[in-house]
Amino acid sequence: MRKILYYAFAVVLVIALNTAVLSTLYFGSSQKQQKAFDAKITTLQKQVSGLQDKLETVSGEKVAVAPPAAEVVQREVIREKSQDQQLTEAVAKTAPAVVSIVISKDVPQLEVTYQNPFGNDPFYQDFGIQVPVYRQKGTVRQKVGAGTGFLITSDGYILTNRHVVADTQASYTVLLSDGRQLDAQVVYRDANQDAAVVKINAKNLPTVNLGDSSGLQLGQAVIAIGNALGEYNNSVSTGIVSGLNRKIEATTADGSLEAINGVIQTDAAINPGNSGGPLLTLDGKVIGVNVATVTGSSNISFSIPINFVKSIINSVTGKNF
């Protein structure tokens, strides 16, 4: 009897192992192959269940075997969920709350006139020499730059970088994902962090989901969304967390250097214009504010941890994040 039990138990184990092998092969196969594997796994699961019942009848005892094949497969499906699917879901959830910030300013409007280069010298008055000279003819409002931000409240508060909205003489326009263009006011520029808050007058706007940057790990997958090069709205790039608690010196628009401490290093591309955009985890939570990239480098960019600016958000918006 003991030999029969051992034999039956061995058969159950062999079938269970075959099921596990099929579960492993399941991933990375084509949809047609996956259907065939599904059928084989179901058959093996039935065999395991039948043998287990017979084993329990003969022995009169409850026999513990490996988890059911369906459970094994389900665990793997959850764990091995396609990164592409996670990425697209995270972007779809967050992109509607990512905005472009257009910087406009009054710049001189020039016209060309022709003048005698020798002025009023009578000796040269009859030579007919004229050279083109530029002179100002008023001013004209035009776009001088662009950056990115993201909505943190449904009533129009937007988080971005301070250097994106640093010019107090400029005006700012926010381009929403639904195509609307709204005038914006800079309501806060932080003196220590490269962070600022912009406000637009609108209601029921989509917002991002703020995460917790304290639990980030090296090698963790991340997503950057931004207004790449000031031209391409909601451009998406992916990468990993390459470093934590970095200290960098960034060059500002006026050429001065600014030290930024404790930033996240990532190899996700953060192009000019992406500044102020969100850095996301694969579950769509914002864990950083994209701030800088190393010019001429290969995929070295930086993001301010979201926990560094939560107190700023709370103070400005009157909400608790």
Q: Provide the annotated active-site residues.
A: 163, 194, 275
Cα 139 to its chain centre, rounded Å, is: 38
Query: And the tokens for 110?
Result: 């020039």
| Cα separation values, 193 from 127, 184, 283, Å | 62, 21, 26
Which residues on neighbouring strands pair with residue 259, listed in sequence order?
Answer: 249
Determine the Cα–Cα distance for residues 7 and 160; give it in Å rounded to an integer.
67
Q: What is the DSSP string of 123-191?
A: GGTTS---EEEEEEEEEEEEEEEEEEEEE-STTSEEEE-GGGG--TTSEEEEE-TTS-EEEEEEEEE-S
Helix (H/G/I), strand (E/B), else coil: 108: strand
Determine the Cα–Cα distance for residues 22 and 33; give it in Å rounded to an integer.
11
Determine the Cα–Cα distance for residues 82 and 63; give it in Å rounded to an integer.
35
